[in-house]
Chain A
């Protein structure tokens, strides 16, 4: 109990409150800019957190992520430009409302739905993470090894249409993650005589290059090669009923919001699914169960609520696998895991024993961030709307130069800037060739832990090849990994055959027409 109170008091310290507030405000502002999302913002700001205490740093980054999720709705509603896939469903109903002059009302609905989803999810995280972590403590290295193998397999499917390319990306990430000092012999490995690689590749330049810089390269391509026409925001109505959201309008969607939150929590807790799945699933369910389903897609407040409550609920619930098992379920949490490691903590069930006060402090910061999101969103909505209009000619040089200096800040090394540029180059090609950079990054982060678990298994088992067969949980997890691979391949083959039939039919139709 003392730990809980001490942790919560830590989260109420002026420095912690200030940085959570700043995180949420910057997050909303950044998220409102089309093309910049939560993980990218976390990658850009991790170097800054080097100079903060662990609680302040994690609070700041969590606030940043929460803010960016809501911020994504601003450009989706006002410009129909979802910067991230999860905001796409919000734009389906948000933009028609903007066209009707009710953009502000749509944004208010998005804000309150986001806060609802986020708050419910945070409460669930607090309630179940610690008891689950206690159970997870019974897991040994064999189970951890099997679990990471399963997570890497599941995650390989994110951000690519082909699991084989996802696995290649994950394999490459693991390979790059092994560069540096080998844990058993303490000798350097895969450094290719480059002495700066002796301590391994730092997460910061790799993440900034892969997430932020390569994204900017692609956006600049659209802007300079295809021509980035400036979009205009529809004028907002001056009528009060078109701008404000009444209690009746909000509570009319209460069931949808609760359902969306639950879908978001469920999806977020499972590694590999992520916010877009939650958002689309919740929207689909809301449409099927709504009395006013004909309004969906034409400016339904319920539609906005369904999408936003679900995708915001993912933010906190995706931390469940991180806190319980030490496995990041999505990119934003992978970045948070990196931040934990930078501050000398290994995410996982032991955190509740080794850093109990800090964990309760983080819980406090998560709740405070939800409150700040409501306050900042409510007071600053009009100002954040202006962020969508920042000229690209000003925005891109700022982001590019921040990437360069962010990579330098971590270890005050220009070598890291070179690493960042190299991974920006790799990231650009990965995106263009449909290789999952998410799987790469998670493979890179988990590689040392995966290897450590394997080493422990080999040493503890005294080279017993049947070690896994003596551990039922580990065996079950390995079987599940195999099942995921076989099932995904089967589904891919089936969908490929279906597409082939469709392609053949289309070709035959074309011949007939000719």
Chain B
């Protein structure tokens, strides 16, 4: 997928989100006008309106450039990783979905599992899995990091800040 195509899809998604919010989200989940001051929906409508206006403008800009066959500068049409030379200090690039999923899934599972499994076990397992996902194959190092980190945060939370430890308690 080219960058122009990806940006166009993003603008369309933003426009879709804005239409959804303006027609359903904001009217349904905003209190009625109390009869004084500004309407509770005003700022929400303005902010979503700005998003929608800008997305339409950007989409129109791309459409005009494509329709009139104007050359689009490399900084806007190509991904920095494909460009020759130094693309500057940028984080723009292709989305690596596989990497994103492999990093996020253990975190999401941790949030779900911590409701049922005691913190100490679930944290240790999470840290082992996470280190494996990012490529660590040194088992001793992984175990040491997992044990120390789990214990340190447990002690800091429980005895340092007096915060309730998430999940079922075993101690």
A residues lining the B interface (CB < 8 Å): 48, 50-51, 82, 85, 88, 161-162, 164-165, 167-168, 170-172, 174-175, 178, 182, 184-185, 187-193, 217-218, 220-221, 223-225, 392-394, 396-398, 400-402, 404-405, 408-409, 412, 414, 417-418, 421, 424-425, 428-429, 431-434, 443, 447, 450-451, 454-455, 458-459, 496, 499-500, 502-504, 507
B91 touches which of A50, A187, A409, A432 (Cβ 8 Å)? A432
Inter-chain pairs besides A161-B75, A185-B40, A447-B47, 12 sampled, C-beta below 8 Å: A172-B51, A184-B38, A193-B29, A220-B99, A400-B107, A401-B126, A401-B127, A432-B93, A433-B92, A454-B38, A454-B42, A499-B76
A178 touches B44 (CB 8 A): yes
B36 touches A459 (CB 8 A): yes
A503 touches which of B71, B100, B123 (Cβ 8 Å)? B71
A504 touches B71 (CB 8 A): yes
Residues of B within 8 A of A414 (CB): 111, 114-115, 166
B29 touches A397 (CB 8 A): no
A88, A189, A193, A421 interface centre (most CB from chain B within 10 Å): A189
A397 touches B131 (CB 8 A): yes
B43 touches A217 (CB 8 A): no
> Complex Cα distance A220/B75, Å?
24
A220 touches which of B30, B134, B138 (Cβ 8 Å)? B134
B50 touches A500 (CB 8 A): no
B50 touches A167 (CB 8 A): yes
B34 touches A185 (CB 8 A): yes
CB nearest to B48 among chain A residues = A175
B135 touches A164 (CB 8 A): no
Give A229 Cβ to nearest chain B Cβ, in Å.
13
Give A457 Cβ to nearest chain B Cβ, in Å.
8
A434 touches B92 (CB 8 A): yes
B83 within 8 A of A: no
A428 touches B74 (CB 8 A): no
B54 within 8 A of A: yes
A397 touches B48 (CB 8 A): no
CB nearest to B74 among chain A residues = A503
A185 touches B31 (CB 8 A): yes
A401 touches which of B26, B94, B123 (Cβ 8 Å)? B123
B141 touches which of A217, A393, A447, A500 (Cβ 8 Å)? A393
* 8 examples of A-B residue contacts, CB within 8 angstroms: A82-B89, A171-B54, A175-B44, A184-B36, A184-B37, A393-B136, A397-B130, A398-B145
Given contacts A168-B50, A418-B111, A88 and B89 within 8 Å (CB-CB): yes
Give A414 Cβ to nearest chain B Cβ, in Å.
6
B34 touches A184 (CB 8 A): yes
B134 touches A396 (CB 8 A): yes
B7 touches A433 (CB 8 A): yes
B29 touches A400 (CB 8 A): no
Give A449 Cβ to nearest chain B Cβ, in Å.
11
> Complex Cα distance A162/B47, Å?
18
> Complex Cα distance A499/B74, Å?
8
Given contacts A164-B57, A401-B123, A458-B37, A182 and B104 within 8 Å (CB-CB): no
Given contacts A171-B54, A189-B31, A507-B71, A225 and B38 within 8 Å (CB-CB): no
Give A371 Cβ to nearest chain B Cβ, in Å.
28
Residues of B within 8 A of A189 (CB): 29-31, 40, 44
> Complex Cα distance A450/B47, Å?
11
Residues of B within 8 A of A458 (CB): 37-38
Residues of B within 8 A of A428 (CB): 95, 100
> Complex Cα distance A165/B10, Å?
11
> Complex Cα distance A459/B42, Å?
14
> Complex Cα distance A425/B100, Å?
9
CB nearest to A47 among chain B residues = B161
Give B17 Cβ to nearest chain A Cβ, in Å.
9
Fill in one digit per residue for B109-123: 1 if any A CB lies within 8 Å of its CB, else 0. 011001100000001
B21 within 8 A of A: yes
B54 touches A393 (CB 8 A): no
> Complex Cα distance A42/B111, Å?
23
Residues of B within 8 A of A188 (CB): 29, 31
